């Protein structure tokens, strides 16, 4: 979406939304299609500008946002800049009564002036959004401040051998979108994670994330408790990405944390 005007004013109210930022954008594929975009502390609201009374408005809750970024386009001759936000709101599954988080990408083009640097600076004012609250790591046992550095331990034999495939197919992209630096460790044998965590320099990590069944989580906890500094080490935030066959522990903790 291309932008023609952008006049941030915290006191300005448009379309019933008090905007921290406000801008008018055009679609990247059709510059005749225009949108008004308002950003508050809680939501990003996108509404098509039209003379028709039934205008379409979409509100994205920032608690569903995993990340955003500002950048120049691939065409060096393009003076515009872009910012993209990534959301994972709950939506109904196709042909199912259940709901699941589904990826929604919102991309906007900023071309206020003919100065590429000025346009990029404007895009950077919109990204990052003020809150990216979706927990990427399933169930987390302590608060994790962002940006954070994460060690992810995956048992490739979990979930009938599909845990690593689940990580590369679903989780890896979300981590990139959220700009979270991580180190992936693929366990090679029983108690590998326990030995690694027992010896690791935990100051390099803000959280440990386990993608497996219940067994690998127990290994990590035991490794933390084996350390001489176990009282401090056990305070390390832990996350579970269910990658096993049953995932009973992750399901139970998630249920009682709601």
Strand ranges, E, within 165-222: 182-186, 207-212
| Average pLDDT of every residue of the chain | 81
Q: Single out the residue in 82, 104, 131 at which a domain terminates.
A: 131
The domain in which residue 200 lies consists of 137-257
Q: Are 21 and 126 part of one and the same domain? A: yes
Q: Single out the residue in 110, 131, 152 at which a domain terminates.
A: 131
| Confidence band of 98 (pLDDT split at 50, 70, 90) | confident
Q: Are 60 and 147 part of one and the same domain? A: no
| CA separation for the pair 247, 256 (Å, rounded) | 15
| CA separation for the pair 194, 71 (Å, rounded) | 41
> For 178-201, how does the pLDDT look when each residue is reduced to its tens digit (9 = 90+)?
888 999 999 999 999 999 999 999
Q: Is the pLDDT of residue 65 over 80?
A: yes
Q: Are 126 and 141 part of one and the same domain? A: no
For residues 83 and 97, the model is more confident at 83
Q: Is the pLDDT of residue 236 over 90?
A: yes
Q: Are 73 and 192 part of one and the same domain? A: no
Residue pair 215/154 in contact by the 8 Å Cβ criterion = no
- Which residue in 4, 9, 214, 229 is the catalytic one? 214
Q: Are 47 and 70 part of one and the same domain? A: yes
Q: What is the CATH number of the domain that holds 10?
A: 2.30.29
Identify the CA nearest to 211 among candidates 241, 245, 170: 241
> For 20-63, how does the pLDDT look when each residue is reduced to its tens digit (9 = 90+)?
788 887 777 777 878 888 998 889 999 988 877 666 889 999 98
Q: For residue 8, what pLDDT is reported? A: 41
- pTM reported for the whole predicted model: 0.76
Q: Single out the residue in 98, 131, 164 at which a domain terminates.
A: 131
Q: Are 143 and 71 part of one and the same domain? A: no
Residue range 156-178: mean pLDDT, rounded: 89
Tokens representing residue 199 in the block = 């010896």
Q: Are 143 and 107 part of one and the same domain? A: no
Q: Are 48 and 118 part of one and the same domain? A: yes
Q: For residue 19, what pLDDT is reported? A: 53
Q: Are 96 and 170 part of one and the same domain? A: no
Note the Cα 214 to chain centre separation in Å.
25
Q: Give yes or no: 206 in active site.
A: no
Residue pair 212/155 in contact by the 8 Å Cβ criterion = yes
Number of domains the chain contains? 2
> For 104-140, how does the pLDDT look when each residue is reduced to its tens digit (9 = 90+)?
999 888 888 899 999 999 889 888 665 444 444 344 4
| CA separation for the pair 186, 210 (Å, rounded) | 10
Q: Are 145 and 253 part of one and the same domain? A: yes
Q: Are 189 and 142 part of one and the same domain? A: yes
> For 72-84, how does the pLDDT look when each residue is reduced to its tens digit (9 = 90+)?
988 889 898 888 9
Q: Are 14 and 125 part of one and the same domain? A: yes
Q: What is the CATH number of the domain that holds 200?
A: 3.40.50.10330
């Amino acid at each position: 979406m291309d932008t023609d005007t952008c006049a941030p004013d915290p006191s300005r109210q448009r379309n019933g939304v008090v905007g921290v930022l406000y801008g008018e954008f055009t679609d990247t594929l059709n510059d005749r299609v225009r949108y008004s975009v308002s950003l508050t502390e809680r939501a990003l609201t996108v509404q098509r500008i039209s003379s028709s009374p039934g205008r379409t408005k979409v509100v994205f809750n920032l608690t569903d946002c995993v990340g955003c970024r500002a950048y120049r386009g691939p065409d060096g001759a393009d003076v515009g800049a872009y910012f993209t936000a990534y959301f994972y709101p709950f939506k109904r599954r196709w042909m199912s009564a259940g709901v699941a988080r589904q990826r929604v990408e919102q991309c906007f083009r900023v071309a206020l002036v003919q100065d590429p640097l000025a346009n990029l600076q404007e895009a950077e004012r919109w990204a990052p959004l003020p809150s990216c609250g979706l927990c990427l790591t399933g169930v987390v046992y302590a608060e994790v401040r962002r940006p954070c550095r994460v060690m992810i331990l995956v048992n490739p034999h979990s979930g009938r051998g599909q845990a690593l495939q689940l990580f590369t197919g679903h989780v890896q992209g979300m981590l990139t979108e959220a700009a979270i630096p991580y180190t992936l460790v693929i366990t090679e044998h029983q108690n590998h994670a326990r030995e690694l965590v027992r010896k690791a320099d935990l100051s390099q990590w803000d959280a440990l994330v386990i993608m497996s069944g219940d067994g690998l989580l127990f290994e990590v906890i035991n490794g933390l408790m084996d350390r001489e500094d176990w009282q401090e080490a056990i305070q390390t935030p832990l996350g579970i990405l269910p990658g096993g066959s049953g995932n009973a522990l992750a399901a139970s903790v998630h249920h009682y944390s709601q």
